[in-house]
Chains A and B, each alone.
Chain A
Amino acid sequence: MSDHDHSSTDDHREGYNFAHPMPVPMLLTVFCILVFLTIVTVAQASFDFGSIDVAIVMGIATIKAIIVALFFMHLLYDKPFNLAIFLSAFVFVGLFVSLTLSDSWLTSKDFIPVDDAVITSTVE
Chain B
Amino acid sequence: MSTIEAKPAGNDPESVNHGSDAHGDHDHDHPSFLAHHFETPEQQYDSGKLGIWIFLVTEVLFFSGMFCAYAMFRMLSPEVFEGCSQFLNTKLGAINTGVLLFSSLTMAWAVRCSQTEEYKKLTGMLAATLSCAMVFLGVKAIEYSHKFNMGILPAGFFQYDPAHPHIEDGPNYLMWLCLPFALFLVGIVVWLAVAFFQGDKFKVAVLKPLTVVALCFFVGVGLGMFLEDGSGESHAALHDEIGEHAVDDHLLDEPIDVLASSDHLSEEVTLGQTEYGVVERLAGDTTNSGLLGELNARAAQAEMATGSVILNKDGGVDATIHATPRDFLTPSRAGVFFSIYYCMTGVHAIHILAGIGVLIWLLVRSVRNDFNRQYFGPVDYVGLYWHLVDLIWIYLFPLLYLIR
A12 contacts chain B at the CB level, 8 A cutoff: no
Q: How far is the CA of A18 from the CA of B109 in the complex (A)?
A: 17
In the assembled complex, A52 has its CB within 8 A of some CB on chain B: no
Query: CB distance B73 to A16 under 8 Å?
Result: no
Across the interface, do A15 and B15 meet the contact criterion of CB distance under 8 Å? yes
Residues from chain A with Cβ under 8 Å of B322 in the complex: 109-110
Interface flag for B228 (CB, 8 Å): no
Those of A17-35 within 8 Å (CB) of chain B: 17-22, 24, 27-28, 30-31, 34-35
A28 to chain B: closest residue by CB? B105
Interface residues in A78-124 by Cβ distance below 8 A to B read 78-79, 81-82, 85-86, 88-90, 92-93, 96-97, 100-101, 104-106, 108-124
What does the 1/0 interface line of B12-47 toward A look like (CB < 8 Å)? 101100100010000001011100000111110110
- The size class of the interface chain B forms with chain A is 35 or more
Contact A118 B32 (CB under 8 A): no
A92 to chain B, nearest CB (A): 6
Count of A residues near B, CB < 8 Å? 76
A33–B233 Cα gap in the complex (Å)?
33
A38 touches B94 (CB 8 A): yes
Choice from A85, A101, A110, A113 contacting B71 with Cβ under 8 Å? A101
Q: How far is the CB of A111 from chain B (nearest CB, A)?
A: 8
Of B268-276, B351-359, B367-375, the stretch lying at the interface with chain A is B367-375
The residue from B43, B111, B246, B373 contacting A118, defined by CB atoms under 8 A apart: B246
Check A114 against B330 for contact (C-beta < 8 Å).
Answer: yes
**Given A7-B374, A18-B45, residue A97 in contact with residue B64 (CB < 8 A):** yes
The answer to whether A35 touches B75 (Cβ under 8 A) is: no
Nearest-Cβ distance from residue A81 to partner chain B, whole angstroms: 6
Which residues from chain A sit less than 8 Å from chain B, CB to CB? Answer: 1, 3-4, 6-7, 10, 13-22, 24, 27-28, 30-31, 34-35, 38, 41-42, 45, 48, 53, 57-58, 60-61, 64-65, 68-69, 71-74, 78-79, 81-82, 85-86, 88-90, 92-93, 96-97, 100-101, 104-106, 108-124
Supply 16 A–B pairs (Cβ within 8 Å), ascending by A: A7-B31, A15-B40, A21-B116, A35-B98, A58-B395, A58-B398, A65-B391, A73-B383, A73-B388, A81-B7, A89-B56, A101-B75, A108-B76, A109-B314, A119-B331, A123-B246
